[in-house]
Copies of this chain bind each other. A is one copy, B any other.
């Protein structure tokens, strides 16, 4: 169980780091052949290593990814990323599932955008 968690943790880090380096060979080697990628916000799904690799290789912009946190637990992990394209930065939340061989079998991405807070809670909060 601890070994499984270690492999999941390392693989989640390697996923982000290999994408950041545009090392697509290393990136692809982390993925199960039948990996499924989902973006619930747009209800988009990509099936299979080759389509998912193409999606990442073709992703527009001079994007950069840094791990803020990885939490791994058996065959699951979650990563909180700091992403940048030019001067724009955004957090991302990525959920991973792993196969018995330690390959990434499912990735679920969330891209939470900034918004203005609703009125009525100013007495409880500070802003930064």
Contacts and interface: CB of A to CB of B under 8 A. Distances in A.
Q: Interface size bucket, A side?
A: 35 or more
A9 B73 contact: yes
Number of copies: 2
Contacts of A91: 40-41, 110
A44 interface: yes
Interface stretch (A13-21, A22-30, A75-83): A75-83
B112 A111 contact: yes
A67 interface: no
A113 B44 contact: no
Contact of A42 (B77, B110, B115): B115
A60 B56 CA distance: 39
